[in-house]
Structure 1
Amino acid sequence: MMLLSRLLRHYYRASHWPEYLAPLLDLALRLYVADVFFKSGLTKIQNWDSTLYLFSDVYQVPLLNTDVAAYMATAGELGLSVLLVLGLFGRFAAAGLFILNAVAAYSYYSGLSEAGLFQHFCWGILLAVLLVLSRGKWAFDTWLEKGFGLPVRR
């Protein structure tokens, strides 16, 4: 019984070691998702006429004028991606990209392959994780909270 107790203590102590990698995983998720959306925004800017055509004739964005939708999507992909990488207003950025991703998947649903739909689903899950769990040590939000004397919750 004493041996089992010692083994369990060592196991539980060692089981917390991966938690030290949490800031690195948080940063890696932020970089990956931001890269996907930032590149999409750059593609939209590179051929703006094509972007306007897609938003007017291909995508079916609900409730928005097609030009407004094109501008909002492009600005969101570029701006929110930068915020996400920096971890500055990170939850706001993750929520914004989550909504943008959901609207994109919905508005182009008929044109998406099963693999494309799965990709949007995976990005949505990663953004949801960042929205709920992201409070990495390597984020400006954490440093700002400390600077304002607010308690940083983990």
Structure 2
Amino acid sequence: MNKPLQAPVCAYQLLIRAGNLLQPLVLLLLRLWIAHVFFSSGLTKIADWDVTLALFTDEYHVPLLPPAVAAVMATCGELGLSSLLAFGLGGRFAAAGLFILNAVAVISYPDLTEATRQFHYFWGAQILVLLAFGPGLVSLDRLVQWWLQKRGGHSQS
């Protein structure tokens, strides 16, 4: 009597296995996509520092920080944290920093269009995935973990 249920269960199990096999690639692509978004923004800021300072002075209203400090912190965060994220080194730390940076961008720039705001929400959701799952198997974090386990002579899961 259970014969009709076996095919859907088997198909579901295959789907789960395929998802598990694809997870490292998906996390890598997600890291690279988010890193590209933020790194490109950082490059734009350093391309014309006078314009960046003017924007942080006149348009972006970062709470609690002087505009020049906010500009430096945002630029360093975008360039540094996105680089760490791309390599998967300190992956969750980098994702947390970019999440905060993204949230501050939404809060500090009231003139965002609805479409631009949706992009920031989308990036925030993607970053939350990286916070929840970590950088994945294809990352320097995993390589460092493997090296430390090998060096220590014991394994952890």
Aligned to 2:122: 122
Residue 21 (str. 1) matches residue 22 (str. 2): yes
TM score, norm. by length of structure 2: 0.91
Residue 72 (str. 1) matches residue 73 (str. 2): yes
In structure 1, the gaps of 5 or more residues are none
How many corresponding residue pairs?
151
DSSP-derived class of the 1:151 partner: coil
Within 5 Å, which residues of 2 pair with 1:90-129?
90-108=91-109, 110-129=110-129
Q: Report the Cα distance in structure 1 between the residues aligned to 2:71 and 2:14, rounded to whole angstroms.
A: 50
Cα displacement (A) at 1:19:
1.6
Aligned to 1:138: 138
Q: Report the Cα distance in structure 2 between the residues aligned to 1:122 and 1:6, rounded to whole angstroms.
A: 38
CA contact (8 A) 1:145 1:151 kept: no
TM score, norm. by length of structure 1: 0.93
Cα displacement (A) at 1:5:
4.7
CA contact (8 A) 2:45 2:75 kept: yes
Aligned to 2:82: 81
Q: Report the Cα distance in structure 1 between the residues aligned to 2:37 and 2:9, rounded to whole angstroms.
A: 42
| Structure 1 stretches of 4+ moved >3 Å | none
Residues 45-64 of structure 1: CA deviation (Å, up to 9, x unaligned): 00000000011111100011
Residues 60-115 of structure 1: CA deviation (Å, up to 9, x unaligned): 0001111110000000000001000000000000000000000011000x210000
CA contact (8 A) 2:57 2:68 kept: yes
What residue identity is the alignment partner of 2:91? G
Q: CA RMSD in A?
A: 1.3
Cα displacement (A) at 1:4:
2.6
Between the two proteins, what is the percent identity of the paired residues? Answer: 50
Residue 32 (str. 1) matches residue 37 (str. 2): no
CA contact (8 A) 1:98 1:124 kept: yes
Cα displacement (A) at 1:135:
3.9
